[in-house]
């Protein structure tokens, strides 16, 4: 759901514990929470989204990240890994 929101140009606020967090650079293409249970941290991050320019900027950069991880690109990456494993398996003595 995180990358889907990014693909819709929506700014995201994500716990660093979420898998998609590794795709996000805090403050550049999304916002990351160090402690998802810290309400003050969440409020601070959400307050930065009150500015339309900030929301738009994070949304646009998040869209660029999501485009790099679309289904076609992910399938190509998986195929490359499979091809590498098969090549190693067939070249092993």
Structure tokens at 86: 């098969």
31-33 vs 13-15, strand pairing mode: parallel
| Closest C-alpha among 55, 56, 62 to residue 7 | 62
Residue 93 has pLDDT above 90, yes or no: no
Question: 65 CB contacts (<8 Å, ≥6 apart)?
Answer: 3, 6, 23, 24, 29, 30
* Predicted pLDDT of residue 28: 96
pLDDT digits (tens, 9 = 90+) for 17-75: 999 999 999 999 999 999 999 999 999 999 999 999 999 999 999 999 999 887 888 89
SS3 82: helix
* Predicted pLDDT of residue 90: 83
Structure tokens at 69: 């991880």
């Amino acid at each position: 759901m995180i990358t889907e929101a990014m693909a819709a140009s929506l700014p995201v606020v994500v716990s660093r514990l979420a898998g998609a967090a590794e795709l996000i650079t805090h403050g550049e293409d999304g916002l990351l929470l160090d402690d998802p249970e810290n309400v003050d941290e969440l409020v601070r991050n959400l307050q930065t989204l009150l500015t339309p320019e900030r929301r738009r900027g994070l949304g646009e950069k998040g869209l660029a990240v999501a485009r790099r991880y679309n289904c076609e690109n992910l399938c190509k990456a998986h195929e490359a890994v499979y091809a590498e494993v098969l090549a190693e398996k067939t070249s092993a003595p």
